Structure 1
Amino acid sequence: MSKEILQVVEVVSNEKDISREVIFQALEAALAMATKKKHSEDIGVRVAIDRETGEYETFQTWEVLDGDEPGIEMEYPDAQLWLIDAVEEDPEIKPGEFIEKPIASVEFGRIAAQAAKQVIFQKVREAEREKVAAEYQERVGELLGGIVKRMDRGSAIIDLGGNAEAVIPREHQIPRDPVRPGDRLRGCLMEIQTEQRGPQLVVSRVAPEVLVELFTLEVPEISDGLIELKGAARDPGSRAKIAVHSLDRRVDPVGACVGIRGSRVQAVSNELAGERVDIVPWDENEAQFVINAMSPAEVVSVVVDEDKHSMDIAVEEDNLSQAIGRGGQNIRLASELTGWTLNVMSEEEFDTKAESEAADIQKRLMEQLDVDEDVAAILVQEGFSGVEEIAYVDETDMMAIEEFDEDIVAELRNRARDYLLTRAISHEEVLEGRAPAQDLLELEGMDEQLAYKLAAHGIITAEDLAEQATDELMDLEGLELTAERGSELIMKAREPWFADEQEIEQNAEKQAEA
C-alpha cells in the first residue's frame, strides 16, 4: 500500500504540476474520511503519511475545551474533551490543543481510493487556481482574450488557455451583445476575487480601460510613445469618446487613431459590438478640451466656474439636441472624459443667465464695496466677480481700466480689504459663539462655510433648516445661495419627516389588516 501511495503522489504531481506536499495532504484527508466512515462520522481523525516510505499512521483526536470559560459548550462529544479530563492524559495540555490516541488504519483500498480521488481532485483544482491567480496578479488592467466555454447564470466563463479561466459577469458584458459558447472575446482583467472555490479572475468588456487597451494594440504610434491616450469615457455598446495627444508635432493623433479609411477605429468598434468612437484632441487649455469633447456639436461660448468645477456651454439653438445627445449621452460622455460638470444651453439661455449672474455680482459689489451702480458695472464688465479679486489683483491690472485713476483704484482696493477683514472677524466670532450641529454639517449638499453662516442666523441643526421656507432662507444676509440650492437643502433636511410619516402610515395599515 505504501508503494501505491508514493506512485499516486508521483503521477498526480507530475501530471498536474502540483507540489508533492499538496498531494500528500489530500491523501491524508481522504484516509481520515475513510476512517470516519468505518468508525463514526463524529470522531476526530488525523492521518500522518511518511513522505519517504509512504507508510501511514492513524490517530483519533479530541479537541480540548476549557469548561470554566463562559459560553463554551461541547457540541461533538466523540471529538471533544473537557480540560479537567484531558489533564489526566497529559498534565501539560492546554485548551485548544488536541489529545491523540493511535487507532487501526484503514487499507488504501477501493473506498479510500475513491475518497482520495475526490479530495485530490478538489485540492488539485484549488492549487491550480492559486497558481493561475499568482501568474495573473501582475496583469490586472491588461487586455485578455479567450474563448467562451459556457454561460453560468448570465456570466460568461472564458478559457484563457494554460488551465486558466476567467469570468465576465453579466454587468461587465456589453448590453445587447449576444454571447454564446465558442465566441472569442477580449476584455480587461479588473480584479482577482477571493471566493470559497478559490481565486476568480474577473474580466470586463465595459470598462474604459478596454477601449484604451484596444487602441494601444491597433495604433503602433501609441505603443511607440508618439501618441498619448489621456482618457476615455464609454456608453458600452453605443458610443464612446477617447482623448488623444501627440508627443511629436509631425504626428496627427486623431488621424493615426482613425487609420486609413477608418480601419483602426473600425477594428476597435467591431470588437466592442459596433460601439461608435469619437476621437477627441486633448488640449492643456481645459476650456478648449471641453469644446473638443463636445464634438460633433459646435460650441459658441464657454464660461468657466473654477470653484464649482463646472462650465456653462452655449450652442446654437439648432445644435442643442445634438450637443446634448440622445438621452444626454453626448454631454454625459464629454463630462466624464474631461472631468468637468457641463451645462449645455442655447445662446439665448446662455445670455439670459450671464446677464442675471452679472446683475447679481454687480449688486453684491455695490453692497460690499459701498459703491454706486456705475462703478460696480465697470468692475463686472472688466471681469471682476468678487471682492477677493479686487483686493489682491495686481494694481497695474486695475490701473489699466480706462474709467479709473490711481485714487479710485486705491480706494476700491482698501474697501475690498476692509470688507474681507470685517468678514473674517465676524466669522471668528461665529466660531467662538454659535456653531452648527453635526447633523447640519453632515447634511448631503452642505459645506462647512455655509453651515457656519446658517448658524450665525440661528439655524444650527438640520431640524432648524427643515423648518425654513426657501424665501426666508434667501432673505438672510451673506449666504450667497441660489434659490435652487436652498430649496434642495431644505428638502434634504425634511427627509426624516417624510420617513416618519411613511412609517406611521405603514403601521396604520398593519393595524387595519390585523
Structure 2
Amino acid sequence: MAYTSANQLELLQTAEAVAREKNIEPGLVVEAMEESLARAAKSRYGAEMDIRVNIDRKTGRATFTRVRTVVADDAVENYQAEFTVAQAKDYMTDPQIGQEYSEEVPPVELGRIAAQSAKQVILQKVREAERDKQYEEFKDRAGTIINALVKREEYGNVIVDVGSGEAVLRRNEKIGREAYRPNDRIRCYIKEVRREQRGPQIFLSRTAPEFMAELFKMEVPEIYEGVIEIKAVARDPGSRAKIAVISYDSSIDPVGACVGMRGSRVQAVVNELQGEKIDIIPWNEDMPTFLVNALQPAEVTKVVLDEEAGKIEVVVPDEQLSLAIGRRGQNVRLASMLTGLDIDILTEEEESKRRQAEFETRTKLFMDTLDLDEFFAQLLVAEGFTNLEEVAYVEQDELLVIEGVDEGTAGELQARARDYLEAQAKKAMDAAIATGVEQSLIDFEGLTPQMLEALGKDGVKTLEDFATCADWELAGGWTTVNGERVKDDGVLEPFDVSLEEAQTMVMTARVMLGWVDPDELNKDTDETEEEEA
C-alpha cells in the first residue's frame, strides 16, 4: 500500500531543495527521509518490528514494508522480526535460514511528535553528509596553504570560514600577539585534518616551519619547480627564522634566488609573517660546514663533531660569543633546530684553557707511570701521544722523531709502558675474579682484564649474563625524554666500545651459546647489505 497522505512528489521536491541548499546528494536526503518514516512506523507498530520504508526516486511514492528473517528453531530472540523454518512455511515455499520475508503494511500518518522526530533524523543525516563531504574535500589538502575568512574568536582561538565549513586557528598557532576581526582575510597552513565525533576538524597554523616553506614555494618559482630544495626550517615565530636551501643547478645561487631582486621575494614572506627576520643559509652535506653557515652572522674558528652523541662543539672568538648565542639564546637555538644537533659554544680562551688542562693531565700520566721528568713527558704529549697503549705498541720510528730520543731510550720507554700495562692488567684480572667473573667470560675474545673487572662489578659474571645484555647497556647511548636528549651510561663505555662493536660481541656470545643460528644471522646480514645497496 502506498503512502498517499501527502503529495507524493512533495517528498522529492523537499529532498532536492535541502540537497541544493546544503550542496549534497539528493539521494542522501531521501535516505534520511526513509529512515525517519521507518522510525515513525516503529513507534506505531512496535519497536520490535523490522519496518523498512522505500521512497521511489521518480514518483515519490513511499512504501512501508515489514521484514521477518528465517532463523534456526533455537535462535529466535525477537518474535516480531524473526521466525522459524516451520512458521515460515505458512508464508514461503521451501524457506531457508537467513532468507527474509517482506509484506507491505499500511502507511503511517505522521503526528506532531513523529514529525518532529523525523525532522531531527533528517537534519542529523544532512549534517553527517555535510561533514563527510567536508572531510573528503580537505583530507588531501593537509600540508597546503589556504586563504580563509575570519568568522569569530573563541577563547583566543580563531574560527575561520573555509568555504564548505569551519576551521580553527588555535591560540598557540598564531604568530605573537596577532589579533583578527570578523571578515579579515587570513592565510594559514593546513596542519591537520581529523575526522571526529562532531565532524571533521581542520586545524590551521601560522607558526609551523612548514608554513614558511610553503610561502617560499609560492614566492620562488625555482622551489616550486624543484630546482631549489628547502632542506630544513627553524623558526622562532614572529621574531626570527633560519631556512636552509640547496640548488640542483650549478648556475643558480639558492640563496640569491630566495632573496630575489632587491630582496623582493624574501620581503613578501617577511611581510606575511609579521616582520619575522629570515636568515637564508646554503645547505651542505658536511655537518660542520653547514653549522658554520647556520650560526651566521657569527664567525666560527673551529668545529668538533661527535656524531654518536649527536653533539657538536663550536669555538668562536671571544668577542663573537654573544653574537653566536644571540639574544636569549635565539641564534644558537635556531641553529640547533636546523641541524638537529646539540651545540656547545666555547670561546677561544675557554678552549685554550681546556686544552691546557688536558695537556697537564697527560703530562702527569706519563710522569707518574713511566717515571719521566716533566720536560720529557711534555715532549711525548706535544708529539700527539695521549695514552700508555700508544707509547707501548707504536712503531719505534714514531718515538725516534722526538728530539733527544735514540733507539735505546725508545726501547726503554716502551718496556716501561708495557710493564706498567701488564701490572695493571694482572691487578684488574685479580679484581675481576674476586667479583666472581667465571672462566667462560674470561675466555671470550675481545674483553680486556679492565673490561672484565667493570663487568664483574656490574653483575655480569658469566657468558650467559653477557649474552643477555643490550648493546646500549654496554656501549651507552642517548634517549630522548620530554624532548631532551638524556645520556645512558654503558658498562664498557669508558673503554671506547662503540655501539656496533657491542652488538657484534653480544651476537657472538649468543652464537657461542647456541641461542642464535649463525646461518640465520649471516642470512639477515646479507639481506640488510642488499637493501642498503
Same fold, judged at TM 0.5 (above): yes
Residue in 2 that maps onto 1:91: 84
- Percent of residue pairs bearing the same amino acid type: 40
Q: Are the equivalent residues in 2 in contact too, given 1:145–1:184 (CA < 8 A)?
A: yes
2:462 maps to a residue whose letter is: E
Q: CA deviation at 1:269?
A: 1.5
Q: Which runs of 5+ in 2 are unaligned?
A: 1-5, 89-98, 426-443, 478-488, 496-533
Q: Supply the distance in 1 between the matched residues of 2:48 and 2:351 (Cα, whole angstroms).
A: 81
Residue in 2 that maps onto 1:278: 279
Q: Are the equivalent residues in 2 in contact too, given 1:368–1:387 (CA < 8 A)?
A: no
Q: Are the equivalent residues in 2 in contact too, given 1:59–1:101 (CA < 8 A)?
A: yes
Residue in 1 that maps onto 2:53: 48
Residue in 2 that maps onto 1:77: none
Q: CA deviation at 1:217?
A: 0.9
2:494 maps to a residue whose letter is: E
- 1:54-103 deviations in Å (ceiling 9; x for gaps): 4445579999xxxx9xxxxxxxxxxxxx966749962379xxx9999987
**SS of residue matched to 1:123:** helix
2:156 maps to a residue whose letter is: G
1:343 to 1:50, Cα distance in 2 relative to 1, 3 A = same
Equivalent residue for 1:106, pick from 97, 105, 108? 108
Equivalent residue for 1:480, pick from 477, 485, 494? 494
Q: CA deviation at 1:336?
A: 0.5
Residue in 1 that maps onto 2:158: 156
**SS of residue matched to 1:139:** coil
1:238 to 1:6, Cα distance in 2 relative to 1, 3 A = same
| 1:169 and 2:194 aligned | no
Q: Supply the distance in 2 between the matched residues of 1:109 and 1:210 (Cα, whole angstroms).
A: 55
- 1:400-423 deviations in Å (ceiling 9; x for gaps): 995599x989x99xx9xx999653
Q: Supply the distance in 2 between the matched residues of 1:247 and 1:262 (Cα, whole angstroms).
A: 22
Q: Supply the distance in 2 between the matched residues of 1:130 and 1:362 (Cα, whole angstroms).
A: 75
Q: Which moved more, 1:299-308 or 1:48-57?
A: 48-57
| 1:25 and 2:25 aligned | no
1:152 maps to a residue whose letter is: E
1:358 to 1:218, Cα distance in 2 relative to 1, 3 A = farther
**SS of residue matched to 2:153:** strand
Residue in 2 that maps onto 1:461: none
Q: Supply the distance in 2 between the matched residues of 1:387 and 1:307 (Cα, whole angstroms).
A: 24
Q: Supply the distance in 2 between the matched residues of 1:129 and 1:365 (Cα, whole angstroms).
A: 77
2:133 maps to a residue whose letter is: K
Q: Supply the distance in 2 between the matched residues of 1:158 and 1:134 (Cα, whole angstroms).
A: 19
- 1:236-278 deviations in Å (ceiling 9; x for gaps): 1111110122233333322222223322222111211221111
Map residues 298-337 of structure 1 onto 2, 5 A cutoff.
298-337=299-338
2:162 maps to a residue whose letter is: L
Q: Supply the distance in 1 between the matched residues of 2:127 and 2:388 (Cα, whole angstroms).
A: 67
TM (normalized to structure 1)? 0.66
Q: CA deviation at 1:366?
A: 10
Q: CA deviation at 1:231?
A: 0.8
Q: CA deviation at 1:124?
A: 2.5
Q: Which runs of 5+ in 1 are unaligned?
A: 69-81, 453-473, 482-514
1:270 to 1:55, Cα distance in 2 relative to 1, 3 A = same
Equivalent residue for 2:447, pick from 423, 428, 431? 423
- 1:145-203 deviations in Å (ceiling 9; x for gaps): 21112223332222233x14322222222231113322222222222112112222222
Q: Supply the distance in 2 between the matched residues of 1:5 and 1:277 (Cα, whole angstroms).
A: 60
Q: CA deviation at 1:349?
A: 1.6
Residue in 1 that maps onto 2:481: none
Q: CA deviation at 1:431?
A: 6.7
Query: What is the aligned residue count?
Result: 426
Residue in 2 that maps onto 1:471: none
1:478 to 1:225, Cα distance in 2 relative to 1, 3 A = closer
Map residues 297-376 of structure 1 onto 2, 5 A cutoff.
297-356=298-357, 373=377
1:361 to 1:122, Cα distance in 2 relative to 1, 3 A = farther
1:245 maps to a residue whose letter is: I
Q: Supply the distance in 2 between the matched residues of 1:401 and 1:140 (Cα, whole angstroms).
A: 68
Q: Which moved more, 1:364-373 or 1:132-141?
A: 364-373
2:54 maps to a residue whose letter is: I
Q: Are the equivalent residues in 2 in contact too, given 1:43–1:60 (CA < 8 A)?
A: no
Q: Are the equivalent residues in 2 in contact too, given 1:86–1:99 (CA < 8 A)?
A: no
Q: Which moved more, 1:165-174 or 1:276-285?
A: 165-174
Map residues 77-88 of structure 1 onto 2, 5 A cutoff.
86=79
Residue in 1 that maps onto 2:474: 449
1:326 to 1:12, Cα distance in 2 relative to 1, 3 A = same
Residue in 1 that maps onto 2:131: 129
1:421 to 1:400, Cα distance in 2 relative to 1, 3 A = farther
Q: Supply the distance in 1 between the matched residues of 2:365 and 2:306 (Cα, whole angstroms).
A: 18
1:228 maps to a residue whose letter is: E
**SS of residue matched to 1:156:** strand
TM (normalized to structure 2)? 0.64
Q: CA deviation at 1:342?
A: 0.5
Q: Supply the distance in 2 between the matched residues of 1:146 and 1:359 (Cα, whole angstroms).
A: 66
Q: Are the equivalent residues in 2 in contact too, given 1:34–1:111 (CA < 8 A)?
A: no
1:209 to 1:45, Cα distance in 2 relative to 1, 3 A = same
Q: Are the equivalent residues in 1 in contact too, given 2:383–2:402 (CA < 8 A)?
A: no
1:58 to 1:261, Cα distance in 2 relative to 1, 3 A = same
Q: Supply the distance in 2 between the matched residues of 1:32 and 1:365 (Cα, whole angstroms).
A: 96
Residue in 2 that maps onto 1:432: 462
- 1:439-471 deviations in Å (ceiling 9; x for gaps): x98xxxx9412679xxxxxxxxxxxxxxxxxxx
Q: Are the equivalent residues in 2 in contact too, given 1:313–1:350 (CA < 8 A)?
A: no
Q: Supply the distance in 2 between the matched residues of 1:401 and 1:169 (Cα, whole angstroms).
A: 71
Residue in 1 that maps onto 2:236: 235
- 1:455-512 deviations in Å (ceiling 9; x for gaps): xxxxxxxxxxxxxxxxxxx9x996639xxxxxxxxxxxxxxxxxxxxxxxxxxxxxxx
1:90 maps to a residue whose letter is: F
1:188 to 1:150, Cα distance in 2 relative to 1, 3 A = same
- 1:385-435 deviations in Å (ceiling 9; x for gaps): 9979x99x9x9xx97995599x989x99xx9xx999653685698473695
